[in-house]
Amino acid sequence: MSPFNKVTIDYLTRHDATGDYALYLVEPAGWSDLDARLHKLQDRIYTAVDALLDGQIASDYPDSKGTFVRIKIVFLGQDAPERAVQMIDRLYAYVNESPEHAPAGVSRGLISGLAITHSITG
C-alpha cells in the first residue's frame, strides 16, 4: 500500500464463534452528488481491499491473518441508491475473480476468503 493511501475503517469486529472479521465502512445519508459519492465509496472499498492484501490489517490485527474477512458497507438512514448496490456487487465479483486480489490474499495466507456486502440501518 502506498504511504499516501490510508484506509478509513469505521469499525472492525471479530465473530467469536467463527473467528471471521468484518471491516465496516459507514456511509452517511445524503446522496445529492451521486457520481462523486460513488467514486469516493469505490476508492474506500479498494483501499480496504489493498489494506487486507498488503498485510496492513494482519499486521494491525494479527488474529485476523488467515481468516474469512467481510468488508461491509453500512448505509445510514435511508435506502442505498441502486447504483451503489450495483457497484458493490460488481466490485465484489471483480475482487474475488481477479487473480491479483482475493485469490492472491488466500494463496499468501492473509485471508481465507473475502466478501463485500452492504446493509441499511436507520
Whether pTM exceeds 0.75: yes
The pLDDT assigned to 31 comes to 82
User: pLDDT averaged over the chain?
Assistant: 90
DSSP readout, the chain? --TT-----SEEEE-TTT--EEEEEEE-S--SSHHHHHHHHHHHHHHHHHHHHTTHHHHHSGGGTTEEEEEEEEEESSPPPHHHHHHHHHHHHHHHHSTTSHHHHHHTTSEEEEEEEEEEE-
The pLDDT assigned to 107 comes to 95
- pLDDT above 80 for 37: yes
CB of 31 within 8 A of CB of 80?
no
| pLDDT tens digits for range 60-114 | 999 999 999 999 999 997 778 899 999 999 999 999 999 999 999 999 999 999 9
